[in-house]
Structure 1
Amino acid sequence: MINDIQKTAEDKMQKSLDVLRDNLAKVRTGRAHAGLLDQVEVEYYGSPVPVSQVANVTLIDARTIGVKPFESKMAGAIEKAIRDSNLGLNPASMGDLIRVPMPMLTEERRRDLIKVVRSEAEDGRVAIRNVRRDANNDFKRLLKDKDITEDDARRGEENIQKTTDKYIGEVDKLLAHKEEDLMAI
């Protein structure tokens, strides 16, 4: 029982960390990466789909993303979707290839993005702490039902706290790395 609670809590904390990692990847730095366009959706035969499902997204160089539509008639729609997204990108068509250059970030924009990143990290910490709270409540319920001893409950809570500290440390590392990326020129 105790091991099940601990395993479930650790799995949930790992999922929270994975979600944070995905959210941080969406925050754009000065460098280009293909995953930047993952949340951009384009209208394809009446339904919105991600750009990656209607085009091949590659890196041309460190500051330019290349988008090559599978169907040439989709080029205009993809270009419009990228331009209309809130990423601040200005794509340019060159034949059947859409080039998306990454503009330099201003100091003010970098500071705004750091605030966003810190907010995402705090959301990740809160999610991990909520998992700890739920696990501790499970231990208290088992203790109340006399399914485990007080020592087992205390040991379980200590182990959950150690796991929580480990994952909070991972969140802090991710945050520090992303802030470093944002402030690099």
Structure 2
Amino acid sequence: YKDGKPVDHALVDAVILNDTFIGSRAVWDEDRIHQVMVTRGSPSSIGISAIAGNLEPIGVNEPKGMLIDMGSGDIDIIVPLAPGLIRPINNCRYRMLGIDEEIEVGYGPCVIALDGEREVEVGAEEKVSVKLTFDGPRVVKADEALRTAVARGYSKGPEALKNLSWLKEVK
């Protein structure tokens, strides 16, 4: 939110960076990270959500999130921030966030990276906050859905093509 109005959203993470420009979209340098808010985190994740997963895992459908402050605590962990890039995260602290909890970003100028895909620039005088909601899109467990489809025969034999009316030609 900027001045109380929504400007964008993130599904997994919002990362407040010490920068005013991201450059390449992925956030892999932990020294640039000031604060992190996540909706989920697993020890098996790779990326920003792995920080949460290595502190206190949060499942996809759990109605809570996590706020992580970098460089202002006493917890040290090791996290896979990218494939093949395992980094120490030192001196962090965290707390759980409840649904509809809003956190004021009292730090600027900065950039907020959203899911590593988009960014929101924050000026020094702007009032900005991040709010955890449970209003996002439904999550499909792709592996489970496809396994069920295969078990029911949706991908086998000539009858399978009838399930795909949007396909015009299969060779």
The reply to whether TM is greater than 0.5 is no
TM-score when normalising by structure 2:
0.25
Would you tell me which structure has more strand in proportion to its own residues? 2
Which of the pair has more CA radius of gyration? 1
Greater share of helix: 1
